[in-house]
Structure 1
Amino acid sequence: MFRHSTRMFIAGLCALAAAAPAAPALAGGAPPPAPHTATRALHTQTLTGLAAAMKGEAYAYAAYSLFAAEADRQGLPAVGRLFLSTAQTELNEHLREAAAMAGTVGSNAANLRQAISGETYEHQVMYRRFAEQARADGDVQAANLFSEIAVDEGRHRDAFRTALTSTTTGRGTVPAPWKADVVSVPAGLPKVKAARTKANLDTALHGEALAHAKYMLFAAHARQTGNTALARLWEGTAAVELHEHLAGEAVLAGLVHTTKTDLRTAVAGEHNEATTVYPTFAERATAVGDTAAARYFRDTAADEARHAAAFQKALDRLH
């Protein structure tokens, strides 16, 4: 898992259901990893750890994807492939397994209600507040972007409401999927000055990454249940969250640096997850008897240690 070393990781955890359904198929039809199946209701602190893991793994996927693109631009395709392969592990193994254990994916209707709640908060509260604060702090670019995203999230909410009516009553049709206005994220310095704006960008980046990941899970479930129109809506919205919203925020935040710096950041983040974050989650899960979750946290810690070593090896080769 990745943590951007220059910013605080904002948890912002959402409450998750305790029941754990079978993991959905991966995008493209690949089978999911073998789950660490939970056989009993999970303790609240275990669910909190799983929620934090999902948010971190989703952000890792997004950040490493951006780092991979920059490595390619710098003529370092091997490093780009390393970032991409690690990103896929974070999303398609670590996050999906945590989501299955936590019961994040429900029925199509439940998934839509969950998304409507999140989009409503971002539309009515979060992004509007961020825009007001950025404008007050003189970060006009950030204020404008936050305002634009607030409008988008309102549109997403309305589309999901229409889809919910179609799904639950059979009346009407699921809206057509959104088309993302893809934003390129080259290496660069932050384009904001206020500490509050930087913190809000960090919160927004993690939120958009998690929304992308969850919507892709919801899309897989919709396809499994034969609702291809809903699956396309989820996928289109997920693309907007990642390639438009998160990417625009990443440009302002100065998320991407030189590949050497990106590798150093990745090494530090993976080492922290391997030695501190996941072992702590494992200890807490063990203490309350959530043995399957504890095993998941230990196994993920071991994966992150291997990721740290691989990134360090790639960094050594660049010196």
Structure 2
Amino acid sequence: MFRHSTRTFAVSLCALAAVAPAVPALALAPAGGPPSPAPHTAARALRAQTLADLATGMKGEAYAYAAYSLFAAEADRQGLPAVGKLFRSTAQTELNEHLREAATLAGTVGTNAANLRQAINGETYEHQVMYRRFASQARADGDLAAAELFTEIAADEGRHRDAYRTALTAVTTGHGTIPAPPTAKTVSVPAGLPKVKATRTRTNLDTAMHGEALAHAKYMLYAAQARRTGNPALARLFEGTAGVELHEHFAGEAVLAGLVRTTKANLSKAITGEHNEATTLYPGFASRATAVGDTAAATYFRDTAADEAKHSAAFQQALNQLR
């Protein structure tokens, strides 16, 4: 996965709760099946710093999944199917193992109503504050394409919020219906240089991409919970919105940010990120968790660091073969 941004997210959607929820957490998915609920006693006991470190980990894992998926598509376009397969398999590990395990430890997923409230809070912030500010700043800096995209996404997030509000009423009162899911307008992301000029716009694009990637991942977890509890309509709403966040919002931002380059450059970037995760970030998290007695989290951080070292080595081998 990539080096995590040090910027603090104010978006509640894009951060885990600093305190443990009073609802069931999400357990790891059995092979080939949906996630199942599990006791969240570990989440209750976790210290605030450990929860914050899990939040950072989830954000990075979600972003790695989204970016590696785009890198895989570029490798395919360059006639490098083996590299595309490597990126895709690594992306799946980041999302379906690392992120899910962190979500379980942190007690990220609750009841359908609790999940909807979290989603509403995040979408409200993005609609009313974050994307409007990003659009204003991009316009002031002369990055008009970014300003337009941020404005469009702000409007989308408002619609997502309204749909989730309607769904929450249906879930909590038994009256009304769950809205139909939105359909993503999939954006193709070819290799290319950044299409913005201001450092501030680039920073805001990075913040936005991390947020959209995490929103996609969390909504897919919420969808699994909705389906498990017998609410397929709510599951479809979460899944459809997750698709918009990833295939439309993240992808559109990735185009402007110049996220995807040549496969050699993409591999080099991935190697740097994975090496940092393996040698610095996750070992540091493990040490902190060990010091406060959060042993399950410490084990997770150490295991994830070992995985990231393997990813770095695999990417390095693939890059060596292209030289």
- Look up the match of 1:310: 314
What per-residue deviation string (whole Å, max 9, x for no partner) do you get for residues 205-260 of structure 1? Answer: 00000000000000000000000000000000000000000000000000000000
Following superposition, the deviation at residue 2 of structure 1 comes to 2.0
1:165 to 149, 164, 169: 169
Name the amino acid aligned to 2:302.
Answer: R
- Look up the match of 1:18: 20
1:3 pairs with 2:3: yes
SS at match of 1:222: helix
Structure-1-length-normalised TM-score: 0.95
Give me the whole-angstrom Cα distance separating, in 1, the residues matched to 2:180 and 2:262.
38
2:247 to 243, 246, 258: 243
Give me the whole-angstrom Cα distance separating, in 2, the residues matched to 1:106 and 1:278.
26
SS at match of 1:38: helix
1:288 pairs with 2:292: yes
Name the amino acid aligned to 2:266.
Answer: D
Residues 11, 55 of structure 1: 8 Å contact kept: no
Give me the whole-angstrom Cα distance separating, in 1, the residues matched to 2:132 and 2:31.
33
Residues 26, 35 of structure 2: 8 Å contact kept: no
Query: Which structure 2 residue ranges, 5 or more long, are not aligned?
Result: 10-14
Following superposition, the deviation at residue 14 of structure 1 comes to 4.3
- Look up the match of 2:266: 262
- Look up the match of 1:300: 304
- Look up the match of 1:149: 153
Name the amino acid aligned to 2:279.
Answer: T
- Look up the match of 1:135: 139
Name the amino acid aligned to 2:154.
Answer: A
What per-residue deviation string (whole Å, max 9, x for no partner) do you get for residues 80-118 of structure 1? Answer: 000000000000000001001101000000000000000
Following superposition, the deviation at residue 272 of structure 1 comes to 0.2
Residues 212, 242 of structure 1: 8 Å contact kept: yes
Give me the whole-angstrom Cα distance separating, in 1, the residues matched to 2:160 and 2:40.
33
Residues 184, 247 of structure 1: 8 Å contact kept: yes
- Look up the match of 1:231: 235
Give me the whole-angstrom Cα distance separating, in 2, the residues matched to 1:228 and 1:246.
25
1:185 to 189, 193, 196: 189
Name the amino acid aligned to 2:114.
Answer: A
Query: Which structure 1 residue ranges, 5 or more long, are not aligned?
Result: none
SS at match of 1:300: helix
Residues 16, 102 of structure 1: 8 Å contact kept: no
Give me the whole-angstrom Cα distance separating, in 2, the residues matched to 1:302 and 1:161.
41
Distance 1:302-1:35 versus aligned 2 partners, 3 A rule:
farther
RMSD (CA atoms): 2.0
SS at match of 2:25: coil
Distance 1:218-1:26 versus aligned 2 partners, 3 A rule:
farther
Structure-2-length-normalised TM-score: 0.93
Residues 10, 202 of structure 1: 8 Å contact kept: no
Following superposition, the deviation at residue 11 of structure 1 comes to 4.2
Distance 1:280-1:265 versus aligned 2 partners, 3 A rule:
same
1:121 pairs with 2:159: no
Following superposition, the deviation at residue 22 of structure 1 comes to 4.0
Following superposition, the deviation at residue 41 of structure 1 comes to 1.2
Distance 1:38-1:216 versus aligned 2 partners, 3 A rule:
same
Distance 1:251-1:315 versus aligned 2 partners, 3 A rule:
same
Distance 1:133-1:27 versus aligned 2 partners, 3 A rule:
farther
Distance 1:27-1:292 versus aligned 2 partners, 3 A rule:
closer
Following superposition, the deviation at residue 15 of structure 1 comes to 2.5
1:222 pairs with 2:226: yes
Give the aligned length: 315
1:59 to 44, 60, 63: 63
- Look up the match of 1:98: 102
Identity, in percent, stands at 77
Give me the whole-angstrom Cα distance separating, in 2, the residues matched to 1:26 and 1:144.
42
Give me the whole-angstrom Cα distance separating, in 2, the residues matched to 1:124 and 1:39.
31
